Structure 1
Amino acid sequence: MSSEHPATSRPEIRPWAALWSLVLGFFMILVDTTIVSVANPSIMEGLDTTMVATLWATSAYLLAYAVPLLITGRLGDRFGPRRVYLVGLTVFTLSSLACGLSGTIEALIIARVFQGFGAAVMTPQTMAVITRIFSPRNRGSAMAVWGITAGVATLVGPILGGVLLDGFGWEWIFFINVPVGIVGFVLAMRFVPRLETHAHQLDWIGVLLSAAGMFMLVFGIQEGESYDWGVIWGPISVWSLIVLGVVVLVLFVVWQRVQRGEPLLPLEIFRDRNFSVGSTAITMVGLSVTSMSLPLIFYYQLVRGLTPTQSALMLVPMALLSASLARPVGKLIDRTDPRRIATFGLTLVGIGTLLYFFLLRPDTPLWLLLVPSAVLGVANACMWGPLASITTFSLAPELAGAGSGVYNTSRQIGAVLGSAAIAALMQGRITAELGGDAASGVSGAGGAGGHEGGAGGAAALPELLHDGFAAAMGQSLLLPVAAILLGAVISLWFAPRPEKTRTHPVDIPADA
């Protein structure tokens, strides 16, 4: 083992300063998964392009973000999480500048690919550093902050996007990342410590198999709606691509087991029961959280006539309560068994989403719709942190990067599944409630396309369609309810944290 750069004396490790430095970058990259959604019409007009091409600016980012996570997590173990994080942050910041300067939709899509790749390089390092620099007895609070950042950032994206769009123009949803990225770089250089690296050999066959399998699976699920789940090109259909992706990923797992060198994904991490349970549960969380927001935004804009910014502001109680309760819940994680906190949080998310199901009516007072938002705020605080904490609690330092890559990949796979499934379900429920002709008209006006938040700026529907459309959106919310309650059931299999490690300090290398 070695450190990223040997030093002559042991520097002071300031875990909380390092955490907040990393959270800034983590927050920024997750905001960018949703911030573009409200700007799609403006981008389409500004670059004189089609909606299909514009939506590819979002798809390209999500693909480039999700596909390499297994690989980039391992890079942190090999080259040091601090160094890899800084490289990713540099790529992300420069590509954000390129996005804002894009004069064509092709240039924007290419820049978004690099932006997504930078995000994929950064994300696993944030979780890996927390796992390695915080003692087990303090890690719950840190993971609570990290976890709630993931929840709040996806909500803040549409709010921030609406404000920047209304005040400055679509370019500024990308330009805003440049000063934030520079500040984040300086803070990370100052506060994130150099940690031990481990002399891993890069498994190139594993890299190729995991990248190819993830690309085919994610592309097929994410873009299936765009191709009506039919033929993509020549003999290749959406379903054949998805099946081939699954087959390649199975081959990847087999290769990790039989190869004689060092695997890209050490399968022994799945012997840790809590890691396996947590990675499965976070998949359900990603599916639920992603699929929940789209019916709500459509309801607010097409039935209630709210602007994109006003629609996003209806979620403010959720964001505020999630952020304010993160630290108290984190302290609770450190003092008690977090298993039941996670189960409670997951169940409460299901209850809050079910409240929306009952309240999504054309004549529901808007203030009343803030109640489930507040319930979800409490639920998020009790869900994200405990899940992350107990899932990674027992991982060895040399497996922190690989574990973080798997955990974040699971979350992104869930998000992709949720985006595709909610689009298909919404379209089906609209057709059932309004009939084929009316549903076609609704799709043309607002659309239930497979891209998150695609209805930015859509005009309100005629009043006679309000009842049916609101009912369809409410019924669609039963998907995230079912997914998150399944996650709550899965969380019942968590085992207690090992007693012997609860108060032991983490091992920071002397030459760090």
Structure 2
Amino acid sequence: MLDSVPQSSMPIRIASPAGRGLLFAAVLASGMVFLDATVVNVALPHIGRGLDAEVSGLQWTIDGYLLTLAAFVLLGGALGDRYGRRRVFLIGVFCFTAASVLCGLAQNIEWLIAARFLQGVGGALLTPGSLSLIQASFHPADRGKAIGAWSGFSGVSTALGPLLGGWLIDALSWRWIFFINVPLAVVVVLAALRWAPESRAADTASRAGDTASRATAGAGGAMVGAGGRAGPRFDVTGAALGAVGLAGITFALIEASQRGGASEVMAPVAGGVGLLAAVAFVLLERRKGNAAMLPPRLFRRRLFAVLNIYTVVVWASLNGFSFFLSVQLQNVAGYSALKTGLANLPMTVLLLVGSPRAGALAARIGPRLPLTVGPVIATGGLLLLRGIGPHANFWTDVVPGVFLFGLGLTMVVAPLTASVLAAAEDRFAGVASGFNNAASRAGGVLAIAALPLLVGLSGAAYRMPTELAQAFRAAMLWCAGLMVCGALLALFLIRQPDRERREADD
């Protein structure tokens, strides 16, 4: 059934029925992933009560998803390049949907965490698949419009996620934030089977003048060899070592906050395994060179390395903020899930509306100023939010801080993405973008694992308003400190990408 549509030989135009159908399938599928990335934070207090979960369970509910998504997104793109982008995309949709059903049926926190890991695997298959289908299938003249529409509608789903999730939680149950994916997935599968053509890296690379599709192949690990011909390769060992490294360190940080028992032994053992796997990953990638999942050549340009460190720091702050704010608003301020979702709206609207303008500004004046000023503004928002307490006023205690944080983040997102791509060689554009995406998710994983440990929040303390409020204020300080670190990195180490590339080429 997955091969019921023949391979495409002619590019699709966006105004055609096939073009609209393909774009609809890609947008709706990626929307499910972005929806679940935002809505679960709002549901955390309800999940904790419903499944009698401790803080570590809530951490793994978020980190299990982010971890597999970060670890396997590059591998997911590579599988699509080799075995068929539509085929792997549909497998990802099925995996993500099946995991969503398991999440909704969870009877204990361990069940939910395991299903969230599986959900992340599905997301790692379908997210790069949705973009690569667009890149490989559309006519070059329409490709930019299609990707712009994909980005815009994905932003809308991100913005609506907390609101929709909050309504479902209050009206029905937290389980429905997962069950809602089932009807959406049915529509995605029907649309993809009807309109999405099959393609592989060799097919798209063979089209004359199709340089953009070669870049997309790079997102899955396709490298250009000595003869100049692109061929899909994927580094399973490298992906596995990267996943074990990130998982081991994350497990150690979460378990370190538990007192007594097996945690005292498991935390250092897991941390040691994670560090060894991370070192082995670096050594393996260096030995494989350009055949590696992450070619070391990328890091010969200092700007690329600095920008990815910056990404980890800023996204760690963002995810730490999101994790703590939703729980604080419900368990301390007494907000409903819907009102908590509404509190996130100013930030998502600013990102949706302001990101293109921030990108245009950075193109005119360079990335250093926006990437320096943005975190400083976001820091001001985080410091304002420390005042949230019992019965906090929505308009005076919450909205100003969220607005400032969102404004600062808006100045960062588009300039950072453009700078990462500009800092890499054109033939590595895809893998550079994929690695930066993985870096942002890794930052979130580590922040959610480490912050409760740093602020002394463990066990069932998140249900106790006094202890949670104290931890929340400390967490906002840590998040503000991360933003300040990002601003300092940008101020002293980020230069114009064109200048950096000229110096590296010399």
Same-fold status (TM-score > 0.5): yes
Q: Which moved more, 1:242-251 or 1:290-299?
A: 290-299
Counterparts in 2 of 1:209 and 1:367: CA distance versus 1, 3 Å: closer
Counterparts in 2 of 1:290 and 1:342: CA distance versus 1, 3 Å: same
| Count of aligned pairs | 459
Cα separation, 2, equivalents of 1:214 and 1:140? 36
Contact 2:375–2:484 under 8 Å retained in 1: yes
How far apart are residue 181 of structure 1 and its match?
3.0
**Counterpart position of 2:10:** 9
Contact 2:383–2:480 under 8 Å retained in 1: yes
2:439 corresponds to 1:410:
yes
2:48 corresponds to 1:51:
no
Question: Which of 123, 133, 141 is the matching residue for 1:119?
Answer: 123
Question: Which of 368, 393, 412 is the matching residue for 2:396?
Answer: 368
How far apart are residue 110 of structure 1 and its match?
4.2
Amino acid at match of 1:87: I
2:29 corresponds to 1:25:
yes
Return 5+ residue gaps in structure 2 as ranges.
206-216, 218-229, 502-506
Identity in percent: 29
How far apart are residue 480 of structure 1 and its match?
0.7
Counterparts in 2 of 1:316 and 1:202: CA distance versus 1, 3 Å: closer
**Counterpart position of 1:91:** 95
2:250 corresponds to 1:218:
yes
**Counterpart position of 1:496:** 496
2:282 corresponds to 1:253:
yes
Counterparts in 2 of 1:82 and 1:158: CA distance versus 1, 3 Å: same
Contact 2:316–2:446 under 8 Å retained in 1: yes
Cα separation, 2, equivalents of 1:151 and 1:380? 17
Cα separation, 2, equivalents of 1:277 and 1:139? 28
2:202 corresponds to 1:173:
no
Contact 1:125–1:401 under 8 Å retained in 2: no
How far apart are residue 481 of structure 1 and its match?
0.7
Counterparts in 2 of 1:206 and 1:373: CA distance versus 1, 3 Å: closer
Which is bigger in relative contact order (C-alpha 8 A, separation at least 6)? 1
Return 5+ residue gaps in structure 1 as ranges.
429-439, 449-454, 502-512
How far apart are residue 287 of structure 1 and its match?
0.9
Contact 2:27–2:153 under 8 Å retained in 1: no
Structural mapping, 1:224-243, within 5 Å: 224-225=256-257, 227-228=258-259, 231-232=262-263, 236-243=265-272
How far apart are residue 147 of structure 1 and its match?
9.8
Counterparts in 2 of 1:220 and 1:96: CA distance versus 1, 3 Å: same
**Counterpart position of 2:298:** 269
Counterparts in 2 of 1:274 and 1:192: CA distance versus 1, 3 Å: farther
How far apart are residue 389 of structure 1 and its match?
1.8
C-alpha distance after superposition, 1:198-249 (max 9, x if no partner): 4234434334433332332233234443x3497448xx43133223212221
Contact 2:26–2:130 under 8 Å retained in 1: yes
Cα separation, 2, equivalents of 1:478 and 1:131? 41
Amino acid at match of 2:30: F
Amino acid at match of 1:51: A
Amino acid at match of 2:180: I
Q: Which moved more, 1:383-392 or 1:54-63?
A: 54-63
How far apart are residue 30 of structure 1 and its match?
3.3
How far apart are residue 82 of structure 1 and its match?
5.5
Structure 1 length-normalised TM:
0.74
Contact 1:124–1:408 under 8 Å retained in 2: no
How far apart are residue 144 of structure 1 and its match?
11
SS at match of 1:51: coil
Structural mapping, 1:149-160, within 5 Å: 153=158, 157-160=161-164
Counterparts in 2 of 1:352 and 1:54: CA distance versus 1, 3 Å: closer
How far apart are residue 469 of structure 1 and its match?
6.4
SS at match of 2:39: coil
Structure 2 length-normalised TM:
0.74
Amino acid at match of 1:65: L
How far apart are residue 300 of structure 1 and its match?
2.7
Cα separation, 2, equivalents of 1:203 and 1:339? 34
Structural mapping, 1:289-438, within 5 Å: 289-333=318-362, 337-357=366-386, 359-360=387-388, 365-369=393-397, 370-393=399-422, 395=424, 399-427=428-456
Contact 1:350–1:485 under 8 Å retained in 2: yes
Contact 2:419–2:497 under 8 Å retained in 1: yes
Counterparts in 2 of 1:479 and 1:385: CA distance versus 1, 3 Å: same
Name the one with the larger helix percent. 2
Contact 1:34–1:158 under 8 Å retained in 2: yes
**Counterpart position of 2:220:** none
Amino acid at match of 2:341: A
C-alpha distance after superposition, 1:119-178 (max 9, x if no partner): 12234456777899899xx9899689849967983x755443321122222331112112
Contact 1:284–1:487 under 8 Å retained in 2: yes
Amino acid at match of 1:119: G
RMSD: 4.3
**Counterpart position of 2:472:** 473
How far apart are residue 98 of structure 1 and its match?
3.9
Cα separation, 2, equivalents of 1:400 and 1:19? 23
Cα separation, 1, equivalents of 2:260 and 2:481? 24
How far apart are residue 363 of structure 1 and its match?
7.7
How far apart are residue 261 of structure 1 and its match?
8.5
Counterparts in 2 of 1:221 and 1:472: CA distance versus 1, 3 Å: closer
Q: Which moved more, 1:363-372 or 1:382-391?
A: 363-372
Counterparts in 2 of 1:290 and 1:471: CA distance versus 1, 3 Å: same
Cα separation, 1, equivalents of 2:342 and 2:40? 16
Question: Which of 73, 76, 80 is the matching residue for 1:72?
Answer: 76
